[in-house]
């Protein structure tokens, strides 16, 4: 399968957009520079996937930086990505970390800062408290507060056939069609069924067919992620 690519798609007759990103080399390169503890590596992978999905929503040339700061053992974790899907990132931590550590165990009291920097135009920064139990929930809260757009994210990391993998999906109601919640909820329920093994091993087209074979889905040309 083609690795390290992002696919954008739209549903015919339904005001919902989607994205699917599958990362292998990028995730491995990002985490190979340091001996990251397993929970930090997992969190870096989830934030890498999330930032790639967010960067794909840009309608201009520029970049997005997503950083999480806190008073816990992981004081900083940050990923930056641009409109060409070139990603970079790092994390800062101390102490031994149990593999089962949750987001709040790792970060403690903290916040997520999302900075959008167009190459032409004004810089924008949004700050949201880490009130959700997961990174997905915190980002969905950010979209609900700052964009007023119903959004769901699925962020997955793990091992497949001996290699570290990261992948994820995003669904979002199109601006101006926020009242189409039934359509969105139906598609979100379908997406909830996606399995890690499918995201890590199948081509994007096969994943989308398995999830949405009763829908008409228009898939755009993929974009490489590095």
Measure the CA angle with vertex 3, ends 198 and 156; round to 5°.
Answer: 45
Residue 210 confidence (pLDDT) above 70: yes
Per-residue pLDDT tens over the stretch 110-144: 999 999 999 998 999 999 889 899 999 999 998 88
For residue 27, count CB atoms less than 10 angstroms from its CB and return exposed for 0-12, middle for 13-18, buried for 19 or more: buried
Q: How confident is the model at residue 177 (pLDDT cuts 50, 70, 90)?
A: low
The predicted pLDDT at position 100 comes to 87
The predicted pLDDT at position 180 comes to 64
Classify 92 in phi/psi space as left (phi over 0), alpha (psi -120 to 50) or beta.
Answer: beta
Q: What is the mean pLDDT of residues 146-151?
A: 84
Sign of CA dihedral 180, 220, 66, 152: positive
Q: How confident is the model at residue 33 (pLDDT cuts 50, 70, 90)?
A: confident
How many whole angstroms separate alpha carbon 32 and alpha carbon 30?
6
Per-residue pLDDT tens over the stretch 78-120: 999 999 999 999 999 998 888 889 999 999 999 999 999 999 9
- Two tokens at 156? 């997955």
Q: How confident is the model at residue 176 (pLDDT cuts 50, 70, 90)?
A: confident
Mean pLDDT over all residues of the chain?
Answer: 92
- Two tokens at 123? 């810089």
Residue 181 confidence (pLDDT) above 80: no
User: What's the full length of the chain, in residues?
Assistant: 226
């Amino acid at each position: 399968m083609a690795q390290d690519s992002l696919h954008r798609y739209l549903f015919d007759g339904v005001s919902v957009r989607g994205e699917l990103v599958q990362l292998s080399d990028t995730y491995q390169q990002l985490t190979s520079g340091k001996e990251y503890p397993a929970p930090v590596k997992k969190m870096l992978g989830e934030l890498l996937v999330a930032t790639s999905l967010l960067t794909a929503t840009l309608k201009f040339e520029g970049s997005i930086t997503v950083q999480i700061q806190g008073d816990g053992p992981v004081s900083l974790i940050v990923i930056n990505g641009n409109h060409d899907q070139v990603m970079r990132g790092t994390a800062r931590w101390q102490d031994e970390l149990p593999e089962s550590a949750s987001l709040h165990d790792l970060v403690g009291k903290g916040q997520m800062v999302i900075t959008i920097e167009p190459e032409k135009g004004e810089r924008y920064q949004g700050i949201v408290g880490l009130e959700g139990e997961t990174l997905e929930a915190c980002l969905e809260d950010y979209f609900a507060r700052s964009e007023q757009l119903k959004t769901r994210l699925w962020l997955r990391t793990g091992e497949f056939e001996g290699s570290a993998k990261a992948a994820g999906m995003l669904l979002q109601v199109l601006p101006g069609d926020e009242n189409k919640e039934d359509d969105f909820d139906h598609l979100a329920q379908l997406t909830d069924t996606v399995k890690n093994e499918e995201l890590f091993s199948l081509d994007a087209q096969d994943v989308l067919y398995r999830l949405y074979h009763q829908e008409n889905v228009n898939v755009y040309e993929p974009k490489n992620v590095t």
